[in-house]
Amino acid sequence: MNIFVDVSEPITLLLLTLATVLLIFLGKELKKSYIPAIVLGAYLALALFHGSQLATLGDAYQAQYQQILLRCISIDSILIVVALFAYLWIDDITCKTHNKKSISNSLDWLWRNV
């Protein structure tokens, strides 16, 4: 029996999106870049979990769960990109607040427009 978190269900996707937005907002208000980093780590772990389940999916479950897991991996990828940009954005805010040098200033053109 395969157990997996189906993030392609609308209610689960809505809850994940709300939690992500709230944690990003919390990180921005507190000026702590580790908060979106935790979100990013959780989404990376979820993507690895879904990928490993897809790789070890038995023949009996192949037709039933393959499409669901592929949808979950694509949603995980989108959430990883959102969390990565949120981490970089809040890290830039944190560095400007504490007068420190950011890890990477390669996205300075984006931060000026945000």
The pLDDT tens digits of the residues spanning 74-103 come to 999 999 999 999 998 898 888 888 887 666
Query: What is the C-alpha to C-alpha distance for residues 110 and 98, in angstroms, rounded to an integer?
Result: 20
* Pair 31, 90: CB distance under 8 Å: yes
- Look at residue 2 and tell me if it is in a domain: no
| Residue predicted with more confidence, 2 or 25 | 25
Q: Please state which of the ranges 15-19, 41-45, 90-94 shows the lowest mean pLDDT.
A: 90-94
- Look at residue 3 and tell me if it is in a domain: no
- The whole-model pTM stands at 0.84
The domain in which residue 102 lies consists of 10-113
- Look at residue 92 and tell me if it is in a domain: yes
- Look at residue 70 and tell me if it is in a domain: yes
- Count of structural domains, the chain: 1
Of residues 37, 52, 59, the one with CA closest to residue 5: 52
- Look at residue 30 and tell me if it is in a domain: yes
- Look at residue 5 and tell me if it is in a domain: no
Assign 58 a pLDDT band (cuts: 50, 70, 90).
Answer: confident
Q: Which residues touch 65 (CB under 8 Å, ≥6 apart)?
A: 2, 4, 53, 57
